[in-house]
A = this chain, B = another copy of it.
Amino acid sequence: MIIGILGGTGSEGSGLAFRWALKGHDVIVGSRSAERGQVAAAELNRLLAGRGMVRGAGNQEAARAAPVVVLTVPYAAQTAAAEEVRNLLPGKILVDVTAPLVPPRIECVQLPNGESAVVALQRRLGSGVRVVSAFQNVSARHLKDPDYEIDCDVLVCSDDNAAREMVVGLARDAGLRAWHAGPLANSVAVEALTSVLIAINKGYKVSASGIRITGVPDADKK
């Protein structure tokens, strides 16, 4: 699968790129500057040491080449990044990883206009883009350690069942346990939970708290 990651030079985007490349996916690390994308890709390829391969590109080229586009930018850049490629998105799957954190109090939920950031994005892009919400709760911290079992589940929300199913699969390819978590509107829980986890990180002096879903008997089957 060709996967284009917008903002792929950041820690979350490059971490996911690393894990997907390990699994054999053809990952394009996108950046506003093609050169920065290529520099980040070269670094990832050194880390991958032949176990997989990524390439770097500008965000537009990444979005053009890939049927699955992943948006991993800070909230303040979400709209601009999506606008940069919006004409390339119809018919594609757009995976939004954005948590609407509002500095400096990122440990406090501050939903923009009282709604999910990804619901606002879907409305902006129109129903022709297959928007899926995922990965907001996963700390980037251990993504580039291929042997590290990340102790955090991925809640995947979308109004497009087939697109959601594909992203659940991509999460599993990244070595993560993933769940169908309902319609796109349910993403508000996941986005807000990011601030709760930051509050727990601060309050309990840890760096990467996460969540697990319990009570599903075959939960350990990926």
Contact = CB atoms under 8 A, between A and B. Distances in A.
Nearest to A110: B185
Contacts of A181: 196, 199-200
Given A182-B108, A189-B109, A152 B216 contact: no
Interface centre among A108, A215, A217 (most CB of B within 10 A): A215
Contact of A214 (B113, B114, B152, B192): B152
Given A114-B111, A182-B199, A189-B196, A216 B209 contact: yes
B215 A203 contact: no
A190 interface: yes
Given A114-B115, A192-B192, A199 B186 contact: yes
6 contacts: A108-B186, A151-B214, A180-B203, A189-B192, A209-B215, A211-B214
Interface of A: 107-111, 113-115, 139, 151-152, 155, 179-183, 185-186, 188-190, 192-193, 195-197, 199-200, 203-204, 206-217
Given A115-B114, A152-B215, A206-B217, A186 B180 contact: no
B212 A216 contact: no
B216 A200 contact: yes
A179 B200 CA distance: 8
B217 A213 contact: no
Contacts of A182: 107-109, 195-196, 199-200, 203
Given A186-B192, A200-B179, A211 B210 contact: no
B212 A199 contact: no
Interface centre among A114, A196, A209 (most CB of B within 10 A): A196
A210 B214 CA distance: 5
A177 to B, nearest CB: 11
A165 to B, nearest CB: 11
Contacts of A197: 213
Nearest to A157: B196
